[in-house]
Amino acid sequence: MKLHRVYACESQPVVVEGLKKVLGASGEFEFCGAAANTAEGVAEVRLLKPDLVLIDQAFGLRSAFQLAAEIREVSPATHAILWTHEIGEMESLRALQAGIRGIVRRNQPVSTLLECLRSVISGAIWMESSLSRLATGYASRRSAPRFTPREREIVELVCRGFKNRQIAEALSITPGTVKVHLMHIFEKAGVRDRFELALQGARLTKDLEQPLGEPEPVEGS
């Protein structure tokens, strides 16, 4: 079984050691390095190309968001997760807009951290349900675009972590048709990509049965 590689931008050595043990015992992930500052983190991510990067909020939210954006540039296949003490609704939105794919609080149990890692590596966006309610509540104060029934179905599946091929199979349409629908959806919603769309999904569809913070696991691409 392939182990997913996790890198940490973490300022506390004792936390790094604990993370090594947790990941080593998981049977799913392996620790591949850590940096105590953002410059070193970007340089090592460029070389190591890990699957996931945990970013310590102690660097400051602005620095964390900038780091996530730089990680996307130097290693597009690497997904960033913000490891935070507390974060508000606007900051949650900004985090995902910066390219962060998961937000998990440091006071949560190890099982929650691993759940976040699994969800993000599967292609979903992950936030704890309480953070998700804050973010979608903030987004709900904006006006919602009008989607066709088919577009609403696609938005719902994107929010659940489905990729284009899986959406096509679920709706019995071609992947090319899914791409065309997504182009129209992005334009109507005023978002740049599927990750921003997933953040706003609960507001846009109104009747999603599953919270943004609890995406269904998906396999494959």
Query: pLDDT (tens digit, 9 = 90+) per residue, 191-217?
Result: 777 777 776 665 555 443 433 333 344
132 within some domain: no
Do 64 and 24 share a structural domain? yes
Do 104 and 9 share a structural domain? yes
219 within some domain: no
Do 181 and 94 share a structural domain? no
Spatial distance between the Cα atoms of 157 and 128, rounded to a whole number of angstroms = 19
Do 177 and 116 share a structural domain? no
Do 25 and 99 share a structural domain? yes
135 within some domain: no
178 within some domain: yes
Do 55 and 13 share a structural domain? yes
* Cα atoms found within 13 Å of the Cα of residue 54, Cβ hemisphere only: 31
Do 110 and 21 share a structural domain? yes
Residue 141: DSSP 8-state: T
Q: What is the CATH number of the domain that holds 158?
A: 1.10.10.10
Spatial distance between the Cα atoms of 102 and 127, rounded to a whole number of angstroms = 6
- Strands, DSSP E only, in the chain? 4-9, 29-35, 52-56, 79-84, 100-105, 126-127
Spatial distance between the Cα atoms of 119 and 113, rounded to a whole number of angstroms = 10
| Residue 81 token pair | 């997760």
Number of domains making up the chain? 2
Which one has a higher pLDDT value, 208 or 83?
A: 83
Do 159 and 91 share a structural domain? no
Return the SS3 of 30.
strand
Sheet strands side by side (includes 100-105):
29-35, 4-9, 52-56, 79-84, 100-105, 126-127
pLDDT digits (tens, 9 = 90+) for 102-141: 999 888 899 999 999 998 998 888 887 655 554 454 444 4
Do 181 and 102 share a structural domain? no
Task: Quote the pLDDT of residue 165.
Answer: 92
139 within some domain: no
220 within some domain: no
Task: Quote the pLDDT of residue 106.
Answer: 86
Q: What is the CATH number of the domain that holds 85?
A: 3.40.50.2300
Spatial distance between the Cα atoms of 28 and 46, rounded to a whole number of angstroms = 23
131 within some domain: no
Q: Is a pLDDT exceeding 80 seen at residue 24?
A: yes
pLDDT > 90 fraction of the chain, expressed in percent and rounded:
45
Which one has a higher pLDDT value, 54 or 61?
A: 54
> Band of the pLDDT at 96, cuts 50, 70, 90?
confident
> Which range has the worst mean pLDDT, 151-160, 166-175, 190-199?
190-199
User: Are the C-beta atoms of 104 and 194 separated by less than 8 Å?
Assistant: no
Q: Which domain holds residue 181?
A: 144-205
Which one has a higher pLDDT value, 219 or 32?
A: 32
Do 180 and 94 share a structural domain? no
What average pLDDT does the structure give for the chain? Answer: 81
